[in-house]
Amino acid sequence: MKKQKSQHSTSTKYNGAPFVPTPMHIGRKMLKLGKVEKGENMVDIGCGDGRLVYMAANEIGAKATGYELSPIVYAIAKIRQLFW
């Protein structure tokens, strides 16, 4: 019997889920559903490019904090911050 090759290499480091940005209009609906209000603390774990954090802080007035582990996605967030 022939042994099949694994589709996954053990030498490749897996860094979690892929970065897929949430559309802005969906983000606004998420904040509305979450009933995020002015002055409240909001934490976004796995914040990606920080769009929910930005909307919560700048459009609602919440005290928003985002955490992102991927250095590449974090760099994207810092660059986007310059344009928001």
List the single range of 6-10, 23-27, 63-67 with lowest mean pLDDT: 6-10
pLDDT-based confidence at 27, cuts 50/70/90? very high
pTM of the predicted model as reported, rounded to 2 decimal places: 0.74
pLDDT, average across residues 4-30 = 74
Above 80 in pLDDT, residue 4? no
Q: What is the pLDDT of residues 51-60, one digit of tens each?
A: 999 999 999 9
pLDDT, average across residues 32-39 = 97
**Angle at the Cα of 36 (from 75 to 18), degrees rounded to 5?**
35
Nearest to 64 by CA among 43, 37, 34: 43
Question: What type of residue sits at position 14?
Answer: Y
